[in-house]
Amino acid sequence: MSLALLVISFFLLLILGVPVSFGLIASGLVYMGFSGYPITLLTQRMFEGMNSFALLAVPFFVLTGRFMAEGPLLETLIDWVNSLFGHIRGALSIICIATCLFMGSIVGIAVAQIVAIGSFLIPMMKKEGYSAAYAGGVTVAGSVLGPIMPPGVLMIIYCLAVGSTSITGLFLAAVIPALLLCVMLMVVAHFIARKRNYPTYSKSTWSERLKFTKKALPTILLPVIILGGIFGSVFTVTEASAIAALYSFILTTFVYKAIKWSDLPRIFKEAAWNTGIVLLLGGAATVASWAIANEQVVFQVAALLSNVSNWVFLLGLNVFLLINGCFMDDYPSVLIWGPIIAPIAIQMGIDPLHIGLIICFNLVVGLITPPVGISLFVTAPLAGVTMDALVKETIPFYLVCVAFLFIVTYVPQLCLFLPRLVGY
């Protein structure tokens, strides 16, 4: 009964528009009061959920994204990608998707990526003759790549919430799927561009490509340093995030001189605000996770699913998480559902890295799921189009993402090859 009251009160508050973190705290208080636990236990559990060394990676990666958005690093990256793919039909849409992949390996947050890349490339695509809705649809599609291309903040939060999955191992599991999905989205963009006769550019010479590569080299080196250091066991994910923030700060402040010292308080404040939201969610979700564990829900559900085959379980999980992603952001979703789903899946014999990638990828695709995906609401005003028009242009890319989600789900070797190669 106490757990039922927790769930009912949480969803009731969610319907009333109460922020997810405060809804979790309030429903946790209901559970504590009805079960007879002291209220101080709630604050203890919240602190436990936020008191993690690995969580320090979140503010540093957020800060890295802020420096990226402020300086010319994004522009140099776009110019470099343009020199490689500019001669292909629908070049700007392909450039947008490829830039999302590289930008995602630095920022790793879907909505932040949409704002950073969309505000720059959507007006450029519209100027070149692309429809505003299509420009928005391409940006929405590319935003899926950010959170699943290491190092994604979502994957860090998932590993901390579940507690039995290696962050580095999950990063390795995501590399091949992220690259393959990027190629598939670029192919779809190319075929649509050919059908609509969208513009292309002249093919860059090797000397021009070399010039843009040199110009973008400091930006390109950032994900190389981060991922190379993590996968090479040179430093931890947290240390890598601090190095990334310092590196991007030096580039934007001293090399490109794009940021003044007077800008730093504003940048730090914005990064602190975004980090505070994530940490509060983490602490609040820990209370709900503890209540669920305390009531032994995982064991009861696992017993009920003992006669269900893995493929049926994964099919139901995909459908459920896609629907969930329509209405709830990926961070609270992974904090709430991760500790419940992962132990059940692991007991059923599903690899921890495999189920981790399925959950994270699923929740990100949920952000672009019509008609109410959160990323759609962020992109529509950026592109200056109605939601209906944006959804129509997003559907081809969305279908590719869903199809690829099922490929990752039922072909585990796709994501487990690299982790197994290095011993995970």
Residue-wise pLDDT tens digits, 366-388: 888 876 677 887 788 888 888 88
Closest CA to 186 of 396, 415, 410, 417: 396
Residue-level pLDDT at 144: 87
Residue-level pLDDT at 162: 85
CB 105 within 8 A of CB 77: no
Residue-level pLDDT at 214: 85
Residue-level pLDDT at 398: 92
Q: Which residue in the block uniquely carries the two structure tokens 């008191």? A: 51
Residues ≥6 apart with Cβ < 8 Å to 326: 366, 369, 371, 372, 373
d(CA 26, CA 162): 22
Residue-level pLDDT at 384: 86
R_g of the chain computed on alpha carbons: 22
Instruction: Take residue 273 and report the two structure tokens written for it.
Output: 């605000």
Closest CA to 359 of 70, 154, 74: 154
Q: Which amino acid is at 212?
A: F
Q: In whole angstroms, how far apart are CA 134 and each of 118, 123, 183, 317, 370?
A: 12, 12, 18, 30, 15
d(CA 117, CA 131): 17
Residue-level pLDDT at 54: 67
Tens-digit pLDDT string for the chain (424 aa)? 777 888 788 888 878 878 778 888 888 888 888 888 888 888 888 887 777 776 777 788 778 877 877 767 777 877 787 788 777 887 888 888 888 887 765 655 666 667 767 777 788 888 878 889 999 999 888 888 878 888 777 888 888 888 778 888 998 999 999 999 999 999 999 899 888 888 777 777 888 888 888 888 887 788 788 878 877 778 887 888 888 889 888 888 888 888 888 888 998 888 888 778 777 877 887 787 778 777 776 566 666 666 788 888 899 889 888 888 777 777 778 888 888 888 888 888 899 999 999 999 998 898 888 766 778 877 888 888 888 888 899 999 999 999 999 999 999 999 999 999 888 8
Burial (Cβ within 10 Å: 0-12, 13-18, ≥19) of residue 261? exposed
d(CA 143, CA 245): 21
Residue-level pLDDT at 411: 93
Residue-level pLDDT at 12: 87
d(CA 345, CA 347): 5
d(CA 361, CA 338): 12
End-to-end CA distance of the chain: 41
Residue-level pLDDT at 82: 77
Closest CA to 282 of 124, 406, 163: 163
Residue-level pLDDT at 23: 84
Residue-level pLDDT at 297: 66
CB 335 within 8 A of CB 406: no
Tell me the three-class secondary structure of 400-423, residue by residue.
HHHHHHHHHHHCCHHHHHHHHHCC
Residue-level pLDDT at 112: 66
Residue-level pLDDT at 146: 79
Residue-level pLDDT at 304: 67
Q: ∠220-178-125 over CA atoms, to 5°?
A: 65
Neighbours of 194 (CB within 10 A): 13
Tell me the three-class secondary structure of the chain, residue by residue.
CHHHHHHHHHHHHHHCCCCHHHHHHHHHHHHHHHHCCCCHHHHHHHHHHHCCCHHHHHHHHHHHHHHHHHCCHHHHHHHHHHHHHCCCCCHHHHHHHHHHHHHHCCCCCHHHHHHHHHHHHHHHHHHCCCCHHHHHHHHHHHHCHHHHCCCCHHHHHHHHHHCCCCHHHHHHHHHHHHHHHHHHHHHHHHHHHHHHCCCCCCCCCHHHHHHHHHHHHHHHHHHHHHHHHHHCCCCCHHHHHHHHHHHHHHHHHHHCCCCCHHHHHHHHHHHHHHHHHHHHHHHHHHHHHHHHHHCCHHHHHHHHCCCCCHHHHHHHHHHHHHHHHHHCCHHHHHHHHHHHHHHHHHHCCCCHHHHHHHHHHHHHHHHCCCCCCHHHHHHHHHHCCCHHHHHHHHHHHHHHHHHHHHHHHHCCHHHHHHHHHCCC
